[in-house]
Structure 1
Amino acid sequence: MTSPWMRKLLIGAGVFVLLIAAVLTYLVATFDPNAYKGLAVDWMKTHRQRTLAINGPIKLAVFPRLAVQVSGVTLSEKNRPDDFLKLDEAALSVAVLPLLRQQVVVDSVRAKGLRVTYRRDAKGGSNLDDLVQSEPKTEQPDASDKSSNSPLRFDVSSIQLEDLQLSLRDEQGKLAGEISLASLSTGRLADGVESPVKLKARLGLTAPAVQGDLDGSTKLKLDLAKKGVTLSDMSLAWKGKLPGTESVDATLRGALAFDTANGTLRAEKIELAGDAGLGTLRLVKSSLTVEAFAYDPSNQALQLGKLRIKLGGTSSGHPMNLNLDWPELVVQRDSLTGSPLSGQLSLAGPTSIDASFKTAAPSGSFERIVVPNVESTLKGRSGPRNVEGSVRATLLLLPAKGALALEGLNTQLQLHEPSLQPLAITVQGAADASAQQAHWALKGQINGNPYTSEGKAILATTPMTLNVAARFDSLDLNRLLPPSATAPAASGPSSGGGAAADSPVDLSALRSLQGNFDLKIGQFAYQSYRLSDLVFAATLEGGMLRVSQLSGKGWGGSFVANAFADARASRLALAGNASGVNVNALLKDVAQKDILEGTGRVVVDVDSAGRSVNELKSRLQGKAALQLRDGAIKGVNLAKSLRQARATLGLKGGDDVQKANRTEKTDFSELSATFAIAEGVARNNDLDMKSPFLRLGGDGLLDIGKSRIDYTARATVTGTSKGQDGADLAALKGLTIPVHLTGPFDAMDWRIRWSAIAAQALKTEVGSKLEQQAKDRLRDKLGLPSAASAASGAASSQRLEDVAKDKLKDKLKGIFK
């Protein structure tokens, strides 16, 4: 039987509970959360400088769960009207009593139609920073209050999300694009509780290039103390594009566990299977399976069980297969056991490959796994060419550093090409690589010619950075490349009636790399180029290639230059000079032109911009100069043509037009000229050419873009030879003979203006006759002998001169009387 005081206590408690319930009921019934919209809007504007708008009603429930539902919410960027967040509707409910015990028990989270824009600059500043910053604390927590230091208990009954979209541009993380979540549903999410998860998402990232659909399910378990996640019964399907691939249709199954606190990773019965396209490579029904994998760096443990890779498909439409098998590897600190690995690669078709590789059993420790006696043999064929060889090395795996290395590398290759001599290539040295960078130091021989190469590749940069130095005693690219790649451009005569065939110029490859390059070659050959002591030093950054030194010996002389190429503007520039070179050989190799001979100095300083060869030629600008000796201008023989002058001067016809003939040439002992180049046209007005019989000047232009010439040369006969030909030239001695050259470089016309020569000759002849008549009249006045008798000997001439002086004095005396 209950005591009276106990009964009174129960009645009092009941009344208290009823009173509290009545008060809460009144508060819920009378409280209007929408009245506080303005406070939230004002607070956001004052403290975060953002504009908040809540266009829908706010619904609030207090007990037994604290629940809030909002709709039509927008939030602007800080100090900008642009939208940071837009939300169609969302609801959140939280159990009240656990909050009093510092526990978060969320009944449900629902959201629909959420749009969020995330931005982060290269320095790490984002458009979220002001929202996540904490308010200044006015009071310090009491150290004796242990409840304030107790961790929150996280417990969510379910999450339901629909139509969420994230737009991001993260310059620091090199991410850009959009992520759309069509749906995400979970069961209970709590520490140590396994929850089913289903999702459908679409990724549209431009950096990295990831576009496609992700669909699947798994079971998720959280370990909040260790910041760990376990995914079991995974079945995730991806269909779309990944970096380096055109299309991927793959499924991932198995179980994964991450422990971010200790950095451990575990995987069981992993199977990645599907199809993929990588350029001309198509993978079909390919797979990677791992029975067990465990990585625990804190305990220095690594386990790998039954790794198998099977790749099947086609390469350029021809069958391809790759198999790799590594049955077991177990590492525990300094203890290591494992089995050898082996594999095969085969490719059929016009380009065929048959390769196999194997190793001995591994040894070492967790810090350094040694896989000795890595051996691979290779046989391949591409059309009439075939290659065979072997590779031997020791493979080092460094799990703690995430790196691998090759030591004692020894590669032997033999290449056979019917149109070339057999090539024997050896490579020796060492190399290492990690996710961030790679190094190498190699040496070897190409058909007995030694070479060395060392360098560093920084893989973590975008684009990749290469620092390379290489030395070759001899490098003949004509023997390394197929004949079609080394065939020189055609240099036959142009019709001159239409535009020459054009070729595109694509410098975009300069954007895919950056770094420093240092190359030295003793003897170099490519196409018709034959150079020695070649030095090439350059830097590449931001699509701009700067060649600080390009020097060597070639064409009988030496050259030094610097160059520049810009992929962004498709611009090229070259400045340099060549001394003691055979200009005929130089022009044939560089421009495929055979128009000039001689040895001497060539100076160029030019630049241009364009996306095709013809466009570059038509926009060429700068300057150039020539100083040559003992050479010839090909296509016309002026001396030969001028010897025919006497017969031509007697004709009444017009000027004679002739075609250039490659068998004809005008020899010279010295030639110099400078050119000013603008818009692809080179102009010259200071030509100075000397030969034993002629001196040549002139002015005109060479249209490089159209490969045409319009030039007037002015020849003067300065001397004659003996014999009949000499007599012909003697008739033109002292005359200036204009020669007009027009037409395409390879088939120009040249015209000697005989009418101008005839006018000069007539003027000279009339002048000579008048002068002789004046002399004869003077002789008569002075009473001197005729010119014919005066020419009868040196002594007689001297006496006549004395007599003439005496006679002249007598005549002059009467003038001054």
Structure 2
Amino acid sequence: MGKIFKVIAVLLGLLVTLIVAAVIIIPLVVEPNDFRDEIVSEVKKATGRDLQIDGDLKLSVFPWLGLELGGLELKNASGFGDVPFASIKQAVVRVKLMPLLSKQIEVDRVTLDGLQLNLARMKDGRTNWDDLTAADNNQPPEQKEAQGEPEAMPLAGLAIGGVNISNANLSWRDDTTGQQVSIQQLNVEVGAITPGQPVALDIEFSLNNREPNLQAKIKLSANPLLDLDKGHLSIKKLVLTVAAKGEALAGKDVDLRLETGVDTDLAGQNIALSGLQFDAAGLSLSGDLKGRNLVTAPAFSGNFTLAEFNLRSLLSTHGLSVPETADAAVLTRVALAFDMAGTTEGVKLKKLDLVLDDSKLSGNITVNNLSAAMPAVGFDLNLNAIDLDRYLPPQTDGEVQPADNTTATTQDEDAQQNQGLLPVDMLRQLDINGVFTVGKLTVMKLQMEGIQLNVKAADGKINIGQQIKQFYQGSLQGKVDIDVSGKQPLLQLNEQLQGVQAGPLLKDATGEDRLTGLGRFNVDLKTRGNSEQALRQGLNGNLGFRFENGAIKGINVAQILRETWAKLNGKSVPPSSESKQTDFSELSGSALITNGVLNNEDLMAKSPFLRIDGAGQVDLVKEVLDYTLTTTIVSTMEGQGGGELTGLTGVPIPVRLTGSLADPKPSVDTEVLAKRLLQGKLGEQKEKLQQKAQEKIQEKLKGKLPGGLQDRLKGLL
């Protein structure tokens, strides 16, 4: 045993002697600067470029086997100017000598200072690194195969003290696009690299882009843990901050911060971002995201929450126009949360929760066929309540006189004729299937509750089913069908309105309750075309309505009749303090529309003292009407001013409506009325003459005939 220890001691002594000799002799014998020309020659042979070494080459042996380089410069490719392709002020790399004997590599901190890399592309598409890759690409395959890959020496361990890259600058110039980007003051700090231990990583640099002008300071810190055996990379905390400004950002300063944990495999198949927090431009997004099968069949899933923010302030802060709204308090509370799952073919948003001021939208959205020109969309959404009038532009007081824009109107009509009212090409591609419900809705002052829209669109056919459960004490149900699969769009409208109070409805819709009463309305219309004129000309169908216990405002039929009656009798028009309206207990009618012309033959209205029948035409294409109302004063002479029209009782009075739909002109057909009155007078005179003749005959025969015969004669007369 003693001999063995003695042999070991001798060997160790010999080894120490050799190391000491190497430390003393190698620096004396080996002068690295003597190899300058050989290094330059080999670089020239390999790249075709000149390498310039300005600084000294320094070699160290113990305890670190190291090399220090200074002042290296690699010339640029031909045609790219005198600016060097790459240059380095100083590079230092050292490996600990003793561990090498046991196949362990311990590298001291690797230092690289003053790296300058200039990349460029000419207008003809050539880059200043093409020649560096061409040499390897042009090498014969058999030579590559003969060279093979050098066999790696099995290592017992590897440790690197760190990496320090300082004061690096990179530039990129693309003459084909005019783009110029530079990275300046790039500093990279990598902590000690030890297998099985996380590594501290810090990177910072400045980014400058010329067109559009953009400057940014970027910092990244992380603590990656690399497991080569398992092929796994994890980062517990990655933090990225960016402070940017410039014309590309409308001259505004933008700060963003990203923090997340990362887990991924080195094959790039799976990745998970946990505790994701992204803050930028006054917005804060948090969540988690997972990606699977990223190389073969990418799929993603996650959940996200966008914290509440003030949209109005956000737009103003970043110099963007704030929409002008009737209510300045809207757009001040916005928040969003949802779960998502998706692939390259489709995305699903579940548990959607969108807050807009006092409104909340919830539900699910599905988007499939992402590769198609128009993806397929499905949705099931519910909106609790919203007042859209708050988001519309404010109304101005008073009416603005329209300018003389005849030319502009004509141009707009021509453009509309060429483009069409409906975007046919887009509608043909729609693929939609969804349900949208609203608890309460106010729009254009109209109020409704319990709204449901069922939307389906496929193969150029769009169907929209509508239902409103509460609509001015009534309800509305119907559907709209649009078919753009053929040459001309086809439109069909079918609506039923039941139990609606017309007065409040019209008051909210138009500002004037010209018609009041409890009513129902149904319409079934079809048309074709893609311009307003064509749609009117092609309009066909029917409609019907009935209203009870109401009034038609804006026209007082009784007053018109009184004025007409006064004129016929040569009297002055009597003053009236009555409201300008015509009361009715019942108003009903139906109409048939043929090629844009509405025909009505059965209008009927009953009021306390009037009975009105109506018939005529309304040309919706030309927007004119020719309609006659036949008014009859009932015999009771009671009601709305009937007492002053005793002479017209029972006489059918024609009231004609002519002119434009916007401003119809009512008038009494006095000629027809005069004839009817004359006929009535003649009838009255005839009755009076007959009565007088009867009385005279009876007077003369009185007492001259037997009683029974006289009574019979009286009955005969």
TM-score, with normalisation over the residues of structure 2?
Answer: 0.59
Q: 2:347 matched to which residue of 1?
A: 438
Q: Write the deviation string for residues 755-813 of structure 1: whole angstroms up to 9, x where unpaired.
A: 22122112111111211221232233334999xxxxxxxxxxxxxxxx99772337899
Amino acid at match of 1:413: F
Q: How does 1:550-699 map to 2 (within 5 A)?
A: 550-567=467-484, 569-584=488-503, 586=505, 595-651=514-570, 664-699=580-615
| Structure 1 counterpart of 2:712 | 809
Residue in 2 that maps onto 1:412: 308
Identity of aligned residues (%): 21
1:428 pairs with 2:318: no
- Give the RMSD, CA atoms, in angstroms: 5.0
The structural deviation recorded for 1:733 is 0.7
Indicate if the aligned counterparts of 1:275 and 1:286 stay in contact, CA closer than 8 A: no
SS in 1 for 2:602: coil
Partner of 1:363: 263
Residue 78 (structure 1) aligns with: none
Q: How much has 1:578 moved relative to structure 2? A: 0.7
Aligned partner of 1:709 in structure 2 is 625
Q: Which residue of 2 aligns with 1:546?
A: 463
> Cα distance, 1:706 vs. partner?
3.2
Q: 1:470 aligns with which of 353, 371, 381?
A: 381
Matched AA of 1:608: T
| 1:402 partner letter | P
Distance 1:724 1:450 in 2: 51
Query: Where do residues 57-72 of structure 1 align in structure 2 (5 Å cutoff)?
Result: none
Aligned to 2:367: 457
Say if 1:588 and 1:606 are closer, same or farther in 2 by CA, change over 3 A: farther
How far residue 616 of structure 1 moved from its aligned partner, in angstroms, is 2.9
Count of residue correspondences? 505
Report the residue type matching 1:691 in the other structure: S
1:781 to 693, 697, 712: 697
Which whole-Å deviations, capped at 9, do the CAs of 1:230-280 have from their partners, x for residues lacking one?
xxxxxxxxxxxxxxxxxxxxxxxxxxxxxxxxxxxxxxxx99986999xxx
Q: Is the 8 A contact 2:502 2:513 kept in 1?
A: no
Equivalent of 2:650 in 734, 741, 766 = 734
Helix, strand or coil: the match of 1:746? coil
Distance 1:771 1:487 in 2: 65
Q: Which residue of 1 aligns with 2:68?
A: none
Q: Which has the higher strand share?
A: 1
**Helix, strand or coil: the match of 2:260?**
coil
> What is the rounded CA distance, in whole Å, between the counterparts of 2:707 and 2:290 in structure 1?
112
State yes or no: 1:337 paired with 2:230: no
For residues 711 and 474 of structure 2, the distance between their equivalents in structure 1, rounded to whole angstroms, comes to 66
Taking structure 1 as reference, are residues 346 and 737 closer, same or farther at Cα in structure 2, changes over 3 Å only? farther
Q: 2:475, 2:346 → 1: CA distance?
A: 38
- 1:576-602 C-alpha deviation (Å, 9 max, x unpaired): 111122335555777898753333111
Q: Which range is displaced more, 568-577 or 468-477?
A: 568-577
Q: What is the one-letter code of the residue matched to 2:234?
A: T
Match of 2:371, SS state, is coil
Q: 1:311 to 1:606 in 2, by over 3 A?
A: farther
Partner of 2:681: 765
8 Å Cα contact 2:174-2:180 kept in structure 1 = yes
Judged with a 3 Å threshold, the aligned counterparts in structure 2 of structure 1 residues 341 and 483 are, in CA distance, closer, same or farther, namely same
Could you report, residue by residue, the CA deviation over 1:363-421 in whole angstroms, capped at 9, with x for unpaired residues?
36566422233223344xxxxxxxx5422212323325423333253432223368432
Task: Classify 1:723/1:785 alpha carbon distance in 2 versus 1 (closer, same or farther; 3 Å).
Answer: farther
Q: Deviation per CA, 1:187-229: give whole Å up to 9, x if none.
A: xxxxxxxxxxxxxxxxxxxxxxxxxx99669779699x9xxxx
Q: Classify the secondary structure of the residue corresponding to 1:716.
A: strand
Structure 2 CA distance for partners of 1:443 and 1:271, relative to 1, 3 Å: farther
Relative to structure 1, is the Cα distance of residues 773 and 811 closer, same or farther in structure 2, using a 3 angstrom cutoff?
A: closer
Cα 1:574/1:811, change in 2 over 3 Å: closer
Secondary structure in 2 matching 1:639: helix
Q: Distance in 1 between matches of 2:326 and 2:715?
A: 98
Contact preservation (8 Å) 1:466, 1:514: yes
Q: Deviations over 1:65-113 (max 9, x none)?
A: xxxxxxxxxxxxxxxxxxxxxxxxxxxxxxxxxxxxxxxxxxxxxxxxx
Distance change >3 Å, CA 723–CA 424, structure 1 → 2: closer
Q: State whether residues 274 and 287 of structure 1, in contact with CA within 8 Å, keep that contact through their aligned partners in structure 2.
A: no
Q: Contact 2:444–2:509 (CA<8 Å) still a contact in 1?
A: no
The 3-state SS of whatever aligns with 1:463 is coil
Q: Distance in 2 between matches of 1:477 and 1:736?
A: 49
1:362 shift after superposition: 1.5
- 2:652 aligned with 1:743, yes or no? no
Q: Whole-Å Cα distance in 1 between the matches of residues 251 and 504 of structure 2? A: 38
Report deviation, 1:740.
Answer: 1.0
How far apart are residue 287 of structure 1 and its match? 9.5
State the partner residue of 1:84: none
Q: Distance in 1 between matches of 2:345 and 2:206?
A: 25
The 3-state SS of whatever aligns with 2:328 is coil
Task: Find the partner of 2:274 among 372, 390, 413.
Answer: 372
1:325 Cα deviation after fit: 7.4
For 1:780 and 1:482, how far apart are their aligned partners in 2?
83
- What letter corresponds to residue 517 of structure 1 in structure 2? G
Q: Structure 2: any 5+ residue segments left out of the alignment?
A: 1-122, 142-169, 184-200, 313-324
> Per the alignment, do residues 679 and 487 of structure 1 end up closer, same or farther by CA in structure 2, a change over 3 Å counting?
farther
Secondary structure of the corresponding residue to residue 580 of structure 2:
strand
Aligned partners of 1:804 and 1:639: how far apart in 2?
52
In structure 2, relative to structure 1, the CA distance for the partners of 1:307 and 1:626 (3 Å cut) is farther
Tell me, in whole angstroms, the C-alpha distance in 1 between the residues paired with 2:708 and 2:206: 119
Say whether the 8 Å CA contact 1:694–1:719 is kept in structure 2.
no
1:403 and 2:320 equivalent? no
Residues 641 and 478 of structure 1: is their aligned pair in 2 closer, same or farther, counting only changes over 3 Å?
closer
- Residue 789 of structure 1 aligns with which residue? none
Task: Compute the displacement of 1:605 (Å).
Answer: 1.2
Cα gap change, 1:727 to 1:585, in 2 (>3 Å): closer
The structure in which a higher percent of residues are helix is 2
Inter-CA distance 437–343: structure 2 relative to 1 (3 Å threshold): farther
Contact 2:448 2:470 in 1 (8 A): yes
Q: 1:735 deviation in Å?
A: 0.6
**Partner SS, residue 575 of structure 1:** strand
Partners in 2 of 1:551 and 1:314 — Cα distance? Answer: 54
**TM-score, structure 1 length as denominator?**
0.52
**Whole-angstrom distance in 1 between the partners of 2:372 and 2:354:** 30
1:777 and 1:809 map into 2 onto residues whose CA distance is 17
Q: Give me the whole-angstrom Cα distance separating, in 2, the residues matched to 1:499 and 1:711.
A: 34
Query: 1:580, 1:600 within 8 Å by CA — same for their partners in 2?
Result: yes
